């Protein structure tokens, strides 16, 4: 127990030193450049679930049209079950190859 407490204290001291004394040591050097509002840096990318919307906004020059495309791309997901109403999704009982592989 004493060894665990000692190692925890040492880790907290090192972490506190990094946080309070040298917080920029783990940062990227590009973050210290002067901001240019006309150019988006290449290292700034959205998360994976926003990449589609980011690509739409970059490809469409008109902001309103880009916004409408984004809204309709989400809105169409609500109507997708009605478009696929004739197609049935069946279980593995009706697909023998799938059942064997499973």
CATH classification at residue 52: 1.10.287
Range of the domain at 48: 2-101
Could you identify the residue written with the tokens 């290292």? 43
User: Burial of 38 by CB count in 10 Å (0-12 exposed, 13-18 middle, 19+ buried)?
Assistant: exposed
Task: State yes or no: pLDDT of 73 exceeds 70.
Answer: yes
Q: Which two tokens stand for residue 49?
A: 């679930």
The structural domain count of the chain equals 1
Note the pLDDT tens digit of each residue in 16-71: 999 999 988 888 777 788 888 887 777 777 888 888 888 888 888 898 999 999 99
Could you identify the residue written with the tokens 């002067």? 34
* Cβ neighbours for 59, distance < 8 A, ≥ 6 positions apart: 66
């Amino acid at each position: 127990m004493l060894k665990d407490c000692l190692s925890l204290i040492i880790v907290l001291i090192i972490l506190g030193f990094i946080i309070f004394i040298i917080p920029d040591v783990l940062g990227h050097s590009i973050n210290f450049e002067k901001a240019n509002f006309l150019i988006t840096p290449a290292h700034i990318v959205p998360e994976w679930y926003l990449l589609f919307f980011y690509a739409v906004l970059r490809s469409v020059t008109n902001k309103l049209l880009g916004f409408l495309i984004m809204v309709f791309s989400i809105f169409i997901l609500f109507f997708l079950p009605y478009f696929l109403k004739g197609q049935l999704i069946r279980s593995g009982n009706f697909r023998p190859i799938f059942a064997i592989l499973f």
